[in-house]
Chain A
Amino acid sequence: MKRCMSTALVLAALLSPFTWSQDSQPTKPPAHKSVPKTLGSKEARLSRDRALAWLVKTQNKDGSWARGVIVGLIDSGYSVASFYDWQYAANALACMALLRSDETPARRLALEKGLNWISTSRVPYRGSDWDNDTVWAALCGVACAIDVAKDTRFTDTSTMKKLRVRAKLLLHNLKRNQVPSGGWGYYDDKPYTKRPKWATSFATAMILPVIQDALKMGWMKDHRILARAKLYVRRCRLPNGAYQYAQRPIPRSPAGESIDNVKGSLGRIQVCNWALRATGEVDFITLKRLRQGLKQFMRYHRFLDVARMRPVPHEAYYANAGYFYFFGHYHAAMAIDLLPKNEKEQWHAQLRPHIVKTQRKDGSFCDFLGQGYMVVADTAYAILTLNGGLG
């Protein structure tokens, strides 16, 4: 991500003066489609069901979605293994989306097949010295397994048994990849080491409640792993409510178009607030702070809008990247679910239009590049977001 970010910043520096000076004049901006400020649960359910139908329809015969290989020029440069890692992570999210949605025979069948693939396909591994995207596979794979374990439909089933075995392997992978400062990342810097050294606030935060559940279920024994990870995320929080991209003892200046500005942190604020509060940090992430984060999300949402579908990571204002769109919305929905019951619907109603407006004709969603694994992951995140408040 750092590598992508620096590339993106250089590209942005090179391209933006030209782009704006040359392009802003002659082109008449296309008329924007009107987006309602709020959307009810009925429209959300319709949109979600279309997305679920897309998932069911596009599943491969072996139970997987997408392909674990590079399918587009603009996504080249990563290790060969990373494409499988992302496919694995996207498949785990797709299973979570099916699991948390109303069951139909077709969805159940797709879920069973998907979980079987998650449990039996090759165990993801680190692809190269610098590229450690296998962490995404572990983060999402464990989250999926914990979700299934909490679902009574799968108690004592063979699916659950296989999934538990796989989850323990992935947890072991996470344990080995926890950086000395407590977080998880997906790249490493020189000198490359078996245990990487660079982490991000959002990758670490997304797994905190999952690890808490894994500890409760006895899938993991070492409570210090969670304590260190929580401390990492706490240290990333800035006084204005933003979270640093990665922990820095001396934070970047949030001036100008810094990624650590609130406007560059919209996707991270929700996941970090949700994770810390969900793991007991209620005095640190108070309801007031949770609401403040959601208000910031809605107030500056345009910065996520203009970043969505930008093909170069972090090329948009405040170094926003396209792939934070659905990730951010899903965790905003999760943060909303931590609010008092009477507040939830008003927030979900504000969130839904931003999901529904981006749905594609075939029912899928995408925020970055359009590669198969990305569409699966984004569609899954969109379904999980729309599920918020649907009961």
Chain B
Amino acid sequence: MPTSKLAVLPYVIFLTMLLSTSTIAQESRPAKETGTKQKTESPAKMKKKTVQLRQQMEIARLELEVSELSVSLRERKAKESVRSAKFAVEMAQQTLSTFVHSEAPVKIKESKISFDQAKNRAELAKDELNELIAMYNADEFAEMTKELVLKRGRRNVEFSQRRLAVQAEKLERLQKVELPKKQHELENKLRQAQAKLADSNLEAKKTAIEIKIMKIKAANKIKNLASDLKEASEKLAKIGANAQ
């Protein structure tokens, strides 16, 4: 919120300047338009007008200083916005590239290892069961133990085969769903960052033009005021001379 307020500040100053310029113009212009009535203006009035014009000049100069400061502020912010957008694009590109070339292949490899381990475990469970069966075949007395141990062995085989099936599903889901989805998300993030960079570039160009306009207007205002002041000063001098 404070950032957006700051961003608006230059525009507020700019508008204030425009308004004040038009006010001054409105105030000074009648003097020009009523040039035919100059002869009727009293010296006191002219003196007052001259003082007012001098004050307006002083304010206009100060306002110009303020606008110069706000200009540099806007320029800096526009540059920072572009730089930040460029950085975001670079990061998004790097994240996508890392994912495509390293992260995704490693995840697939890891998942394949888990799958191969599960496959190996299933084979081992079968081999172990066969070993246990062979062990008990030679023993006639340990029937109770044999039943318990062989049942456990058969369950081990069953669980290891079920675990293998789960690992196969996980590998397939990773390859066909999860990794493509994540890649799509990262590509989208890159596109968003690139769009933001383009916006920032346009915004910077727009700001540069607005600043140019603002400078011209401010300069014109001072120029007009100076002209009005000169005119008023000359009139006042003429009145003073006529009075002598």
Contacts and interface: CB of A to CB of B under 8 A. Distances in A.
B22 to A, nearest CB: 87
Contacts of A32: 143-144
B42 interface: no
A389 B112 CA distance: 63
Interface in A289-314: 306, 308-311
Interface string B124-149: 10011001101110111111111111
A29 B155 CA distance: 18
B139 A311 contact: no
B143 A362 contact: no
Nearest to A306: B145
Interface string A29-44: 1101100000000000
Nearest to B143: A30
B122 to A, nearest CB: 13
A366 B138 contact: yes
B76 interface: no
B152 interface: yes
Nearest to A308: B142
Interface stretch (A111-119, A135-143, A196-204, A353-361): A353-361
A30 B144 CA distance: 7
A360 B145 contact: no
A320 B132 CA distance: 19
A306 B127 contact: no
Which one of B132, B135, B140, B143 has the greatest number of beta carbons of chain A within 10 Å?
B135
A364 B135 CA distance: 13
A10 interface: no
Nearest to B136: A309
Contacts, number: 63
B169 to A, nearest CB: 24
Interface of A: 15, 18-19, 22-23, 27, 29-30, 32-33, 72-74, 306, 308-311, 357-358, 360-362, 364, 366, 369-370
B238 interface: no
B141 A33 contact: yes
Given A74-B128, A308-B145, A309-B146, A19 B151 contact: yes
Interface centre among A30, A309, A360 (most CB of B within 10 A): A309
Contacts of B140: 33, 360-361
Contacts of A22: 155
A45 B155 CA distance: 42
B134 A23 contact: no
Contacts of A364: 138
Contacts of A357: 141
B143 A73 contact: no
A309 B146 CA distance: 8
B105 to A, nearest CB: 33
Contacts of A30: 143-144, 147
A360 B138 contact: yes
B23 to A, nearest CB: 88
A18 B155 CA distance: 10
Interface in B129-179: 131-132, 134-136, 138-149, 151-152, 155
11 contacts: A19-B148, A23-B148, A23-B151, A29-B147, A30-B147, A73-B124, A309-B135, A309-B139, A360-B138, A370-B135, A370-B139
A202 B22 CA distance: 110
Given A15-B152, A27-B151, A370-B138, A74 B131 contact: yes
A72 B131 contact: yes
A310 B145 contact: yes
Nearest to A365: B139
A254 B143 CA distance: 30
Given A19-B151, A23-B151, A73-B124, A311 B144 contact: no
A369 B132 CA distance: 8
Contacts of A311: 132, 135, 149
